[in-house]
Amino acid sequence: MKEKKVKGTVLNQTKIIFFIQVLNSFISGILTIVLPLLMKERNLDIVTIGLIFASLPLIFQLTRMSFAVVSDFLGRKLFFILNGLLAVLSSSIYYLSYTPFAFLLGKVTEGTKSASLWAVNRAFLLEKSGKKRKTLVHLRTTAFVSMAVGSLLAGFLIVWIFYTNTVMLCILIGAVIVPASLLLVDRKKEKFNIRQALGHLDLRNKEKTFTTFVLLYFVMGLSFGFKSGYVFPLFLSENKFGTETIGIFLGAQILLAGLSLYLFTKKMKIEKLILLGGFLYSVMLPLLGFSSGLLAAFLLVMFGVVEGLLGGGQEGILLKIVRKESYSTDIGLLMMGLHGGTTISLATSGFLIASWGFAAPFLLSALIFVIFYVFAYFHLRE
CATH number at residue 54: 1.20.1250.20
Q: What is the dihedral of CA 102, 103, 106, 108, to 10 degrees?
A: -100
Structural domain includes residue 303? yes
Give the residue numbers spanning the domain of 276: 2-185+204-381
Structural domain includes residue 104? yes
Structural domain includes residue 199? no
Share of the chain above pLDDT 90, in %: 49
Q: HEC profile for 131-142?
A: CHHHHHHHHHHH
Q: How far apart are CA 89 and CA 118, in angstroms?
A: 18
DSSP state string for 44-75: --HHHHHHHHHHHHHHHHHHHHHHHHHHHHH-
Structural domain includes residue 24? yes
Q: How far apart are CA 311 and CA 144, in angstroms?
A: 10
Q: HEC profile for 240-257?
A: CCCHHHHHHHHHHHHHHH
Structural domain includes residue 327? yes
Residues of the chain with pLDDT under 70: 1-11, 129-133, 187-207, 322-328
Q: 81-133: per-residue pLDDT in tens?
A: 999 999 999 999 999 999 999 999 999 999 999 999 988 888 788 777 655 66
Structural domain includes residue 211? yes
Give residue 4's pLDDT.
Answer: 47
Structural domain includes residue 197? no
Considering its fold, how many domains does the chain have in total?
Answer: 1
Q: How far apart are CA 363 and CA 242, in angstroms?
A: 26
pTM of the predicted model over 0.85:
no
Q: 118-127: per-residue pLDDT in tens?
A: 888 887 887 7
Q: CA dist 44 to 41, 51, 235, Å? A: 8, 11, 16
**Residue 62 CB neighbours (<10 A):** 16
Structural domain includes residue 129? yes
Q: Which of 17, 19, 26 is nearest to 91 (CA)?
A: 26
Q: How far apart are CA 72 and CA 62, in angstroms?
A: 16
